[in-house]
Chain A
Amino acid sequence: MGNILNQIGIENYIFLCVVLFCIGIFGVLYRRNAIIVFMSIEIMLNAVNLLFVAFSTYHQDAQGQVFVFFSMAVAAAEVAVGLAILVSIFRNLGSISIDNLKNLKG
């Protein structure tokens, strides 16, 4: 079985992931809705995951996929906790706009 990357080229995956990652960053900066910010973070995570898998294929090695597996677990945990926090913030402040979250002030 030939390597699928022979037909696509690893660079294209890299470009795709970079663009995806940047879109994630863009979303974080662009939106104030905390939920969308979360989604953007997920996009970034996925961009990285995709790159892992691409390189896993490139190296013909399962390590990358294992890592993606763990990262998914962490992402799941993160989203669960993060959303719970958002919910409680929403209950307290009545809004989830990150502009309202200014308690980090020194």
Chain B
Amino acid sequence: MIHIPDFAHATTVQIIFCFLAFITVATAFLTIFSRNPIHSAIYLVICFFSIAGHYLLLNAQFLAVVHIIVYSGAIMILFLFTIMLMNLNEQRDVHRPRITRLGAIVSFCLICIVLIAIFINSKPIVGEYDSTGEDFQSIKVLGKILLNEYMVPFEFASILLLVAMIGTVLLSKKEKLNK
């Protein structure tokens, strides 16, 4: 039931998927294991790009683009700025005690096993992947759905962003006000 890719007869798509998946997981790990936060951030960017690749693979162009802009562009820049602002480097990061690390690894394995076990246990009925042939994820369609069905949440999202911005500004400024 676990679909093991048959590399000998792998299609191009499958190869691409495997490649992207490998990059995603590897960079995610590297993000966590890098001593230097800057490196972590760089690896994370690569990770995000690979995820964007997945999106493209799934033919979700709009999301892929948005993802790159928001994550790789905005969020990662924020991260990098913060890191630089704090002047963090390897020396400042003290490793956690061994027991904590061991615990982290154990719980990582545990949750992995649990989640995968659930998935295997659930015996999913994966039939034929039907394709209606309809266009459901082009920018045009998404735009219609977003501005019709999801009008209100959409507006709320914008309010959320606004509030987040004000909050961020306030939080960052508070120190100065106190001085």
Residues of A within 8 A of B (CB): 1-12, 14-16, 18-27, 29-33, 35-36, 38-40, 42-43, 46, 49-50, 53-54, 56-58, 60-63, 65-66, 68-70, 72-81, 83-88, 90-92, 95-97, 99
* Of listed A24, A26, A50, A85, residue having the most chain B CB within 10 A: A26
Task: Say which size band chain B's interface belongs to.
Answer: 35 or more
Please give, as numbers and ranges, the residues of chain A lying within 8 Å of B168 by CB-CB distance: 80-81, 83-84
Please give, as numbers and ranges, the residues of chain A lying within 8 Å of B40 by CB-CB distance: 35-36, 39
Please give, as numbers and ranges, the residues of chain B lying within 8 Å of A73 by CB-CB distance: 157, 160-161
| Set B92, B107, B172: member contacting A84, Cβ < 8 A | B172
Q: Evaluate contact between A65 and B63: CB separation under 8 angstroms.
A: yes
Interface presence of B126 (CB below 8 A): yes
| Set A6, A57, A74: member contacting B60, Cβ < 8 A | A57
Residues of B within 8 A of A (CB): 1-3, 5, 11, 13-14, 17, 21, 24-25, 28-29, 31-32, 37, 40-41, 44, 47-48, 51, 54-55, 57-60, 62-63, 66-67, 70-71, 74-75, 78-79, 82-83, 85-86, 88, 92-96, 100-101, 103-105, 107-108, 111-112, 115-116, 119, 124, 126, 128-134, 136-137, 141-142, 145-146, 149-150, 153, 157, 160-161, 163-165, 167-169, 171-172, 174-175
Known: A61-B136, A74-B160. A87 touches B172 (CB 8 A): yes
| Among all A-B residue pairs, the 3 with the closest Cβ atoms | A77-B164, A29-B104, A26-B108
Q: Evaluate contact between A39 and B78: CB separation under 8 angstroms.
A: no
Please give, as numbers and ranges, the residues of chain B lying within 8 Å of A32 by CB-CB distance: 93-96
Please give, as numbers and ranges, the residues of chain A lying within 8 Å of B169 by CB-CB distance: 84
Please give, as numbers and ranges, the residues of chain A lying within 8 Å of B146 by CB-CB distance: 66, 69
A83 nearest in chain B by CB position? B82
> Could you name 12 residue pairs across A and B whose Cβ atoms are closer than 8 Å?
A9-B126, A10-B124, A15-B116, A16-B25, A22-B111, A26-B108, A35-B40, A40-B32, A65-B62, A72-B66, A76-B164, A81-B168
